[in-house]
Amino acid sequence: MTATMHDTVAGFSREAVEELSRRKNEAQWVRDRRLAAWDRYEELSMPQRNEEEWRRTDFRALKLEKLRPFGALEIDVTAAQAALGDGQMVSAGEKNAGVVVQHGAAATLLERDPELASKGVIFCDLDTAFRDHGNLMERYFMTEAVPTDFGKIEALHAAMWQGGSFLYVPAGVSVELPFRSFALMNQSGESLFNHTLVVVEEGAEAFLVDAYSSPSLEGQSFASGVVELIVRADATLRYVQVQDWGRNVWNFMTERAVLGERSTLNSLQVTLGSRFSKNSIGAHLRGKNSLAEMLGIYFGDEDQFFDHHTWQLHESPLATSDLEFKGALKGSARSVYSGLIKVFEGAQKTDAYQQNRNLVLSRTARADSIPNLEIGANDVRCTHGATISQVEEEHLFYLQARGVPRAEAQKLIVEGFFRPVIDRIPVEEIQGFLESAIARKVGI
């Protein structure tokens, strides 16, 4: 890459992979997996602007050759835990089934319910998972949901992963309380490769919240995230991701869910932070009668750029997917949404819905929305819709005429715009966090 991510990058090298693995004191088979991923990374080409998914995404300003290939591996644990109280993320003070905190490339906190452990539930940071549960990691890590050769950025992630969380719920075990994973970054110029791997076996149930946060610093930082959600037959998974990186962060995130027969996925993506964010979010409905509910909220201001690509891949008949992404923009922010409903041949009785709605709060903000259908079966119900609109002056005038200040009136309108999605979130704490974040973005 050159400075614009086209060939090789100084700092990202085979030697850097070996050094990271050595400093983590990893087993030989883990090191071999990293090096194989690096080889694949070097073979693959970078995304180009002539590819549909990247046509409206310009990341040439990202200077990877100036970044450190991995973050600090030794952290002041007290300072790291104190950062959880900054009010920028979903609260860590509620009742949890387990908590993992990652600060830079180091895991700084691991808490888990011992009663759940006695039932075979595993929740830990990724380093612990590779050390203590190597058989599961060898089977599931970047093999089924997001393979190493998924793309060049994903291959780099497989070579350079540094932290994250692993959740494994055995068959028939139901956990109602949420598991929480926090990723923090407070040094400029570093790269963070955070990974989430969830496996929910047959008939099991789990809930995981991922939260990413950092202050805005001088100089670029780079975040590469991969989320793998494996939901077996008759299992249920709720997954929430809250991204609130600082404005110096360039964020790339790939999420894929694999659903078995009669399984259910309820997911929510919240994008608030970063200078640049490229999110690829997909659900593979591989089992009959599976259900994927995919919700998204994004709010950009100043010069933020958010790009969301979603995939509803119906590979089996009688499956349902329901997607609703809503975004608001102010300042000179820009968003791109592109969604694909793909029904494979033989996936009869598919029921799929896709909706993207955008609210533009300034004349210099811009939203692009491109919904797509690719239908390979003849007995399906697939619909999609997209809207881009500005706040109506008469709506503001109506509220102002009743004594509501203009800024508060705009806040009420934006809250009302997001309310249908917020109301579909069955966790009051997350609803409250989103309401506060929206008010902060509006400027109240």
pLDDT of residue 305: 98
DSSP state of 20: H
Asked if residue 302 has pLDDT above 70, the reply is yes
Contacts of residue 363, Cβ cutoff 8 Å, sequence gap at least 6: none
User: Is the backbone of residue 118 left (phi > 0), alpha (psi -120 to 50) or beta?
Assistant: alpha
Residues in the chain, overall count:
444
Tens of pLDDT, residues 58-74 = 888 888 888 888 876 66
Tens of pLDDT, residues 12-46 = 899 999 999 999 999 999 999 999 999 999 999 88
Instruction: Tell me how far apart the alpha carbons of residues 379 and 253 are, in angstroms, rounded to a whole number.
Output: 34
pLDDT of residue 430: 86
Tens of pLDDT, residues 267-288 = 999 999 999 999 999 999 999 9
For 404, the token pair is 């509501």
Beta carbons of 247 and 276 less than 8 angstroms apart: no
Q: What is the CA radius of gyration of the chain?
A: 21
**Coil, helix or strand at residue 24:** coil
Beta strand spans in 80-140 (E): 98-103, 106-112, 122-125
Tens of pLDDT, residues 352-379 = 999 999 999 999 999 999 999 999 999 9
pLDDT of residue 93: 53
> Residues of the chain with pLDDT > 90: what percent?
71
Query: What ranges in 61-132 are assigned the alpha helix state H?
Result: 77-82, 114-118, 126-132
Asked if residue 1 has pLDDT above 90, the reply is no
pTM: 0.93
Tens of pLDDT, residues 101-156 = 998 888 888 999 999 999 999 999 999 999 999 999 999 999 999 999 999 999 99
Tens of pLDDT, residues 191-245 = 999 999 999 999 999 999 999 999 999 899 999 999 999 999 999 999 999 999 9
Place of tokens 């030794």: 74
253 burial type by CB count under 10 A (0-12 exposed, 13-18 middle, 19+ buried): buried
Q: Which one, of 207, 201, 205, 204, lies nearest residue 179 by Cα?
A: 207
Instruction: Tell me how far apart the alpha carbons of residues 308 and 53 are, in angstroms, rounded to a whole number.
Output: 9
Task: Round the average pLDDT of the chain to a whole number and report it.
Answer: 90
